[in-house]
Amino acid sequence: MDNKSEKKPWGGRFSEPTNQFVERFTASINFDKRLGLYDVTGSKAHAQMLEKCGIISSEELRQIDNGLEEIADTIRNGTFKWSAALEDVHMNIEGELVNRIGEVGKKLHTARSRNDQVATDLRLFLRDKTDESVEELKDLVRAIVQLAHKESATLMPGYTHLQVAQPVTFGHHLLAWAEMILRDISRFKNCRSRINILPLGSGALAGTTFPIDRRITAEILGFDDISENSMDSVADRDFVIEFVSAATMTMMHFSRICEELVLWCSQPFSFIELGDAFCTGSSMMPQKKNPDVPELIRGKSGRVYGHLMGLITLMKSQPLTYNKDNQEDKEPLFDTVDTLIDCTKALNLLIPSINPNPSAMSEAAEKGFILATDIADYLVRKGISFRDAHETVGQLVKFAVDQNCQLEDLKLAEFQKANKVFDAKVFDILTPDKALASRSHQGGTAPEQVKKACARIAIRIEKI
C-alpha cells in the first residue's frame, strides 16, 4: 500500500486506507485482467482522439502511446504485474502507465470514466468472441454437411416420441442439425450489430465537458456507430445478456445433438461409432467405450443456462446508471464464451469421426410399421379420404401386431379384406427406399433432395 504505484486513483477524498478485506472483496483484477489488451486498445484510441481534438498535445500523445504499447507487450508476454490493490484492469494499466511515463500518463483519463471504459472494453472483447464463435459454428455446419452429403441415401428410422415413425435418410437427419446451427449463427450476427456500438465518451454517466469527437474514437476502434444516450451507455448490459442468450440456445441445440449421439452409439441403437480418440474407457469394465465428449457437452449446457439466469437477475431492478453490481457480469460472460467455443471445437472434432452403421439403421427401420403412412397415402391416391385411409391402415397394423408380422408380410387378400381398392401395386410402395424417394420436394428426405439441400447450405455458409 505504501508502494507509490499502488496509490488509489480515487484516493483524494479518503483519509483512511481501504480495509484489506474490502480491497480483496471489491477487486475484479483476478478476472478482468483478461480484458487487458482491449483496455490498452481502447486507451490508445481515446488518446488519439484527445490529441486530434486539441485536448492533449502531440508530444503527450506520443509518450502515452509508447507507454501503452510497452504495457501491451508485457501483457502479451505475461510479465505484467497485476495488483489487487489497484482493484481492476483499468486502474492497473493506468497506474503502470504513470509508473512508466510519469505525470503525462495521468492525462489519459481526461474526458473518460471507468464506467464508459469498461463498457467499451467489454464490447471490444465480445465483438471478437462473437466473430470467433461464428467462425467455429460455420466450421461445424461444414462438418455436418460433409457427413450429410456422404450419407444422403442412408436409410434410417425417423422418430417422433422416440417411437419409429417414418423412414428418413441419415443425411436428412444431419441437415436438421445444420439448420439449428445456422439459426444460431444468425442470432450471433444479429447480436453483434448491437455489440458494436461505442459507449466511450459517455463519461461516468452525463458525458464530458471537453470538446471530444466520439466519431473519431469509433472509427479507430471499428465500431459501426456511437451510442446515443450517455446514461444508457454506462448502464446497459443488454449486449452481454443477448450474447449469453444466443449461446444458451446454441448449447440447448448442442445438448440435443449430443443426446442423439449418445443414444446412437448405445448398444440397442448401434447406429454409429465414434472415433476412439474421442471416447474413454472404464476403470473397472474392460469392454466399455464411453461417449464422454458428447455427454460432457450435454452437461455443460447447464452452466450456460445458469449464467443467463444469473445475468438477467444481476441487471434486474438496477437503478440507472452504473452500479458496482455490473462488475459481476464478467465471470458469467467469460465462462459462457469459453464453454461455447470449447464445445463447438469439440463437436468439430467429433462429427468427422462418426462412423455410421447403415445395416443397424435399416434393421431398425424394418420395425415399427414404418411404412404405415405410405400405405395410407396410397389409399388417398385411390380416392379414399385421408381420415378413412388412416382408420383402415390402423386396422391392418392391429392385424399385423396380432399375427406378429410386418405390413409387408401381409397377403393381398388380407389388404383387400380391409379395403377392396387395394391391388398388387401396394407391394411396390412397401419398401423403405421407395418411401424415401417419394418424398422429393424442397425440405423432404429423398436422397436427391438431401444433396440439393447440402449444396444450398454450402452457398448460405459462404454468404455469412
- Judge contact between 449 and 441, C-beta under 8 A: yes
28 lies in the site for ligand ARG, by CB under 6 A: yes
Helices (H) and strands (E) in the chain, counts: 19, 6
Tell me how far apart the alpha carbons of residues 187 and 203 are, in angstroms, rounded to a whole number. Answer: 30
225-226 and 197-198 strand pairing: parallel
Which residue, 32 or 94, is less far from ligand ARG as judged by CB? 32
118 lies in the site for ligand ARG, by CB under 6 A: yes
CB of 205 to ligand ARG, least distance (A): 9
Q: For ligand ARG, how many residues bind (rule: CB under 6 A)?
A: 10
Task: Point out which span in 53-61, 262-270, 282-290, 320-328 binds ligand ARG (CB under 6 A).
Answer: 320-328
Candidates 57, 193, 266, 282; catalytic one = 282
227: CB partners within 8 A, 6+ apart: 197, 198, 199, 202, 233, 236
Which residue, 197 or 235, is less far from ligand ARG as judged by CB? 235
Task: Point out which span in 67-75, 114-122, 304-312, 384-392 binds ligand ARG (CB under 6 A).
Answer: 114-122
CB of 286 to ligand ARG, least distance (A): 51
120 lies in the site for ligand ARG, by CB under 6 A: no
Which residue, 64 or 118, is less far from ligand ARG as judged by CB? 118
Which residue, 230 or 326, is less far from ligand ARG as judged by CB? 326
The one among 130, 208, 217, 326 contacting ligand ARG by CB under 6 A: 326
- Judge contact between 192 and 129, C-beta under 8 A: no
Candidates 15, 161, 283, 441; catalytic one = 161
CB of 93 to ligand ARG, least distance (A): 12
Name the strand (E) or helix (H) holding 356: strand 355-356
273, burial (CB in 10 Å: exposed 0-12, middle 13-18, buried 19+): middle
Any idea of the CA torsion for 67, 69, 74, 80, to the nearest 10 degrees? 50
327 lies in the site for ligand ARG, by CB under 6 A: yes
Tell me how far apart the alpha carbons of residues 22 and 210 are, in angstroms, rounded to a whole number. Answer: 34
DSSP 198: E
- Judge contact between 123 and 196, C-beta under 8 A: yes
Task: Point out which span in 271-279, 319-327, 377-385, 436-444 binds ligand ARG (CB under 6 A).
Answer: 319-327
Tell me how far apart the alpha carbons of residues 47 and 65 are, in angstroms, rounded to a whole number. Answer: 8
Task: Point out which span in 51-59, 110-118, 149-157, 455-463 binds ligand ARG (CB under 6 A).
Answer: 110-118
- The cell numbers describing 337, all together, are 464464451
228, burial (CB in 10 Å: exposed 0-12, middle 13-18, buried 19+): exposed
CB of 235 to ligand ARG, least distance (A): 11
Query: Kindly report the CA angle at 361 between 360 and 364, in degrees rounded to 5?
Result: 85
Q: Is the dihedral of CA 240, 242, 247, 252 positive or negative?
A: positive
Query: At how many degrees (to 10) do helices 89-101 and 114-150 cross?
Result: 120
155-160 and 163-169 strand pairing: antiparallel
237 lies in the site for ligand ARG, by CB under 6 A: no
User: Residue 208: CA atoms inside 13 Å, Cβ hemisphere, count?
Assistant: 20
Answer yes or no: 161 catalytic. Answer: yes
* Backbone dihedral angles phi then psi of residue 299, each to the nearest 5 degrees: -65, -35
Answer yes or no: 109 catalytic. Answer: no
CB of 166 to ligand ARG, least distance (A): 53
CB of 442 to ligand ARG, least distance (A): 49
CB of 48 to ligand ARG, least distance (A): 22
236 lies in the site for ligand ARG, by CB under 6 A: no
Residues 82-101 contacting ligand ARG, CB under 6 A? 88
How many of the other CB atoms lie within 10 Å of CB of 435?
Answer: 23
Q: Is the dihedral of CA 262, 265, 271, 275 positive or negative?
A: positive
The one among 114, 127, 149, 192 contacting ligand ARG by CB under 6 A: 114
CB of 118 to ligand ARG, least distance (A): 4
Catalytic residues: 161, 282
Under the rule (CB under 6 A), what is the footprint of ligand ARG?
28, 32, 88, 114-115, 118, 322, 324, 326-327
